A and B are shown apart, each in its own frame.
Chain A
Amino acid sequence: MTRPPRKPRKPVASGAISDRVLEPAAEAELELTWKDPPGFWGWLVTTDHKRIARRYLVTAFLFFGLAGLGAVAMRLQLSKPENTLLSAARYNEIFTMHGTTMMFLFAVPIMEAVAVFLVPLMIGARALAFPRLNAFSYFVYLAGALTLWIGFILNIGPDVGWFAYTPLSGPEYSPGHRSDIWAQMITFTEIAALAVAVNLTTTIFKMRSPGMTLSRVPLFVWAMLITSIMTILALPAVMLASSLLMSDRLLATQFYNPAEGGDHILYQHLFWFFGHPEVYIIFLPGLAFVSSITATFSRRPVMGHIPMVLSQIAIGFLAFGLWVHHMFATGLPHLGDSFYTAASMAIALPSGVQIFCWIATLWAGKPVWKTPLLWVVGFIVTFVIGGLTGVMVASVPLDLQLHDTYFVVAHFHYVLIGGAVFPLFGAFQYWFPKFTGRLLSETAGKWQFWLFFIGFQLTFFPMHILGLLGMPRRVYTYPSGLGWEPYNQIATLGGVMLFTSVLIFVINVLVSLRRGALAGDNPWDGPTLEWATTSPPPPYNFMLTPVVDSREPLWEHREELPVMEGLSTAKREVLTSSPSEAEPISRQASPEPSIWPFLSAIATTIVLLGTIFSEWALVWGALPLGVVLTGWFWPKRPRAGGEAQ
């Protein structure tokens, strides 16, 4: 099956296979087979994971910007005591929008977007396992995001916090549709995120290149696999929480009414059973980026591959055992609380192991100080503070003082920005050439890094002190004289720096898209398979399927990468392989572009938006949904000449 590859047309720096060609006729046929229809129609019907990932990235980043503007507004409001820039109502809406957007519309989708782009490339696959489902995910996500923000613009946006605790979000204290919009936005984004998670899990288990056994799977792919499995296990809990809330509001059920046997604590358990793993769902992809960047720029594989993988799995497990640390102040039994303290603290161990391995990699390697590596150092310096304050708030008694204060605001911004956004900007700098074919400017990147790093510390470090001085979260204003003013002013100043830094990034992207240096296949001499194809990759990813015999295939094979042929060029075919040993099993047809995912997303949107106003939407909304799903799953006749060989 494997065969010695053709001689490259020209010498290549490291095992790239993009220059190795099929017969010209076969190449043209492959191109034609995987090509999308042109124009806007092509945009609607495409199932190319790279196109969909790019639009996911752009959309999620836009919402990052909007939520960031909200943060700037809040910082300006809090820059002095008794400020009247924002009203109480507006401030409450803005902090709700900030949290909701950052968690549901930015952090989770953008991490999934990077994975959707890179995972098939890193495992040498032609496509995702379910390309149409992927297209559907994006449209549903977009509809949910628009629902939330159009609601905000029409002044019917949610104002009960990103956590929407009952009874404040319930029928009695939140009349109108603000909370319904929040609850249905959850449904939209969670459907989308679950679909992506299922897609990635299947792709990673079933579509790896021949030879990429589990022990050769890159750390990046491991992290995305664990993230996806966590997503599948965690997200149903929040959909349940929000659906029961909708049901209480719309159908007068009493799940969260203690007078009728319901319980408000039930909501909190369901929400945090999702809410805590959620943090790791955002943070594990960050670790994935850090591992990739550290290896490439240290010029050696990450130290301790096996401890790294085991640590990630341990984080995935422990993440489900510590949700109650968000509820220590609700008066649950003390002995029970202690277990959650232990679990919350225990997660510091696998995190500490990984920090050790990255520093050891830098220590043992020959680090090249390109911008992505700066982000990694910024990540370590910042994230470790967040991890340590996490150990602090894991203690029940100490948490009773720190919970719901600015100390916690500082803590989770250190964890989430330090642990996910620093690596994400590093990842943008690192993979931008693969996404677009051009390099981002290093100079602008370094400016952006330093402004962001200093701005971040200025914004969030003083918040630790504010919390210790007794400032609670989610207050739209505060009295003077409690000693809070100077720290709030520093934080606001830092916020402006952060905003400037992100602006530099946006300009850098826009300029580099047109004028950036052409990247070539592998500008950083990276070890993993995504660098073995052109930048940006063709719709079919690889002309020939790579064959893997090590964890760093492009470093192992400096001249020529072993490949195999046998997939059809006349129709869309992907290779499926066995879950652990990645032995080729079969050639599977991969779907053509299709309008049905888009139509299904529209039908889903009709149902979900309708239920904000009437329970009957479930009934009549089911009709269009049934029609489009029938269309989507209509059995296809085999095309003439398309029979499998």
Chain B
Amino acid sequence: MRRPASAAAALLLCGCTGVQTPLDPAGEQAASIHTIWTLMLWVCGFFYVLVIAGLVWAIWRNRRVAGGAPQASTHDPGMERGLAIWSAMIFVGLTVLATWSFFVDRSLASTHEQNALHLRVTGYQWWWKVEYQEGPHPWWFETANEIHLPVGKTARIELESGDVIHSFWVPNLSGKMDLIPGRHNVLDVTPTRVGVYRGQCAEFCGFQHAHMALTVIVEPQARFDAWRLHQLQPASTPATPDAQFGQQVFQSRACGMCHTIAGTDAGGRMAPNLTHIASRPTIAAGTMPMSKGALAGWISDPQGIKPGSKMPDVPLTTTESSAVVAYLSSLQ
């Protein structure tokens, strides 16, 4: 588990373009939207060239005849014909574009609900809660700021908000959809290519809107199943004395008031579930790549790294802090 996670972190945070763009589709929905983009670019480009050509012609034609007495308004049948042809061209162009757009929209709306993977994503200021709701209830599990999807299978993502409006957007896979309090939106995503993609909140949601990203890892079914089985396990018991001390600190110093670690007394529901935090590629919703150093920094100074975040500064001694880091990074 460790290796793909760090590879993902490297991809997402250390210099890889193309992981957050609609121009490189890796999902059925993004691919069909991309066809509209291509068509639009050609049609609109064609009209733009026509306009500029007309403008240049008009200017060039009159380059030697500047000024003079004003002319009277003339009736110019040629010009009227030109206007009629131009309007007809615009009409045809728009009809082609609107029709194509309509059919792509229909295709996005059609569902493959029969064998879809069911997920629920809930937006909070400023992180994503991800719940996998497959099979009977004991088989449900929760993670945060990361989504694993099996390639080639449609995932039906229910979108809800726990506070203000957010927008779920993983451009390589599909268009965006808002998460609105009091409303229930659904987005179908069918990944077609294995890879790691980045998504980001696309509706302004307050102070740290800029630091509300998530990672989507598209992998072969077998690998996804392995990941899922692992996620269903409770947290591993800390092995080293350092990590054991860290667990004590975690539970006695209010951390467990907000965070859940399955299999321990920590059961807070306000903040990301940390049961398998060390297997995730990033922390603080894509703010930093996962590493011991980043965890230490985040625990000691969350308000410095992500001002306004709901994670409070918890006063810890250096020993306590490094013990908590040891504990959390053991939660594979």
Contact = CB atoms under 8 A, between A and B. Distances in A.
Interface of A: 87-89, 92, 160-161, 165, 167-168, 173, 258-259, 263-265, 299-301, 303-305, 307, 329-331, 334, 337-338, 341-342, 345-346, 348-349, 352-353, 355-357, 359-360, 362-369, 377, 380-381, 384-385, 388-389, 391-392, 395-405, 468-470, 472-483, 525, 527, 551-552, 555
Contacts of A397: 32-33, 36, 101, 104-105, 108, 175
B40 A334 contact: no
Contact of A366 (B62, B83, B91, B169): B62
Interface stretch (B13-21, B240-248, B316-324): B13-21
A334 B106 contact: yes
Contact of A392 (B15, B44, B87, B165): B44
A307 to B, nearest CB: 6
A474 B209 contact: yes
Nearest to A334: B109
B14 A481 contact: yes
A157 to B, nearest CB: 15
A363 B210 contact: no
A353 B40 contact: no
A299 B203 CA distance: 49
Interface string B256-293: 00000000000000000000000000000010000000
Nearest to B185: A331
B59 A477 contact: no
16 contacts: A89-B207, A168-B205, A299-B67, A341-B102, A342-B98, A352-B86, A360-B79, A363-B62, A368-B66, A368-B67, A396-B105, A397-B175, A398-B101, A401-B176, A468-B23, A472-B200
Contact of B15 (A389, A480, A552): A480
Contacts of B311: none
Interface string B1-41: 00000000000111111111111000000101100110010
Given A167-B165, A299-B71, A349-B90, A391 B44 contact: yes
Q: 8 smallest A-B Cβ distances: which pairs?
A: A258-B182, A400-B175, A483-B17, A470-B20, A475-B210, A363-B58, A395-B101, A481-B15
A297 B122 CA distance: 59
A469 to B, nearest CB: 5
A174 to B, nearest CB: 9
B193 to A, nearest CB: 17
A48 B48 CA distance: 44
Contacts of A391: 40, 44, 94, 97
A237 B144 CA distance: 39
Contact of A168 (B12, B79, B164, B178): B164
A475 to B, nearest CB: 4
A390 to B, nearest CB: 10
B98 A400 contact: no
A474 B204 contact: yes
A263 B205 CA distance: 17
Interface residues of B, number: 91
Interface of B: 12-23, 30, 32-33, 36-37, 40, 44, 47-48, 51-52, 54-55, 57-59, 61-62, 65-74, 76, 79-80, 82-83, 86-87, 90-91, 94, 97-98, 101-102, 104-106, 108-109, 163-165, 167, 169, 171, 174-178, 180-183, 185-186, 198, 200-210, 286, 307-308
A362 B186 CA distance: 52
Contacts of A468: 21-23
B30 A401 contact: yes
A395 B97 contact: yes
B167 to A, nearest CB: 6
A404 B167 contact: yes
A411 B65 CA distance: 36
A584 B176 CA distance: 59
B175 A259 contact: no
A332 to B, nearest CB: 10
Given A363-B58, A391-B97, A396-B101, A481 B16 contact: yes
Nearest to B199: A470
A398 B33 contact: yes
Contact of A263 (B15, B47, B104, B182): B182
Nearest to B182: A258
Contact of A469 (B17, B71, B165): B17
A102 to B, nearest CB: 17
Given A401-B22, A404-B202, A265 B210 contact: no
B21 A469 contact: yes
A552 B70 contact: yes
A472 B163 contact: no
Contact of B66 (A341, A342, A366, A399): A366
A448 to B, nearest CB: 20
